[in-house]
């Protein structure tokens, strides 16, 4: 079996699955901010999140091993769901703003507030984390308070992002550094759904 025939076979299976999506429109009532996320993902997350109430108040799908704090301070675009991968820690105390189509790998930490170094019971105010459209954040990456990431950026695994990153960038490392310019994103435009 060559690649093209395998790809066609997978596409037929996906089309059959999507045929049944009409029966699961009710999931959108539980995930009002889950725009652009396929129904089978919503169905997978439904029982642990909405029945067992693990991150139950969060209006987008969150994996049962992830933790989302201060979800009301988090604004997300279409096809973005912070915490959808396993073992993520998303803390929105000072705010997080995500654009459309932000993909977040397992174990990622978005930390919008640190403890005050002189009083560990306080969190100093800082500007929110801002992440643009079409961004891919690799596994075990940590993004620190006040960081701004442009559109069309890939951040490599195990990076610690403590400074702003420009648009159209490939960046990685601890501390995270710009490696090279990235070609334009050619995938679906999720801002139009």
Q: What is the CA radius of gyration of the chain?
A: 18
Pairwise CA distance, residues 151 & 5, whole Å: 34
Peptide linkage before 87 cis (omega within 30 of 0): no
Spatial CA neighbour of 137 closest among 161, 114, 113 = 161
User: Six-digit token pair at 131?
Assistant: 């992440």
Spatial CA neighbour of 37 closest among 21, 13, 51 = 21
Percentages of the chain per state (helix, strand, coil), in multiples of 5? 25, 25, 55
Query: Which of 6, 7, 71, 115 is the catalytic position?
Result: 115
Give how far Cα 121 sits from Cα of 7, 17, 21, 110, Å.
54, 49, 47, 20
Check if 7 is active-site: no
Give how far Cα 147 sits from Cα of 109, 126, 150, Å.
13, 10, 10
Pairwise CA distance, residues 106 & 164, whole Å: 22
- Catalytic machinery residues: 115
């Amino acid at each position: 079996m060559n690649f093209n025939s395998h790809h066609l076979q997978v596409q037929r299976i996906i089309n059959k699955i999507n045929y049944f999506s009409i029966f699961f429109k009710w999931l959108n009532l539980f995930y009002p901010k889950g725009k652009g996320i396929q129904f089978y993902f919503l169905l997978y997350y439904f029982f642990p999140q909405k029945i067992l109430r693990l991150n139950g108040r969060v209006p987008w799908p969150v994996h049962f091993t992830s933790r989302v704090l201060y979800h009301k301070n988090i604004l997300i675009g279409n096809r973005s769901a912070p915490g959808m991968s396993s073992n993520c820690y998303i803390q929105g105390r000072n705010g997080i703003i995500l654009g459309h189509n932000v993909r977040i790998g397992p174990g990622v930490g978005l930390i919008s507030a640190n403890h005050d170094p002189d009083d560990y019971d306080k969190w100093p105010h800082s500007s929110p984390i801002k992440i643009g459209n079409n961004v891919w954040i690799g596994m075990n990456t940590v993004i620190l308070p006040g960081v701004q990431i442009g559109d069309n950026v890939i951040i490599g695994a195990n990076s610690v992002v403590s400074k702003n990153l420009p648009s159209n960038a490939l960046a990685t490392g601890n501390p995270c550094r710009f490696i090279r310019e990235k070609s334009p994103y050619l995938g679906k435009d999720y801002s139009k759904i």
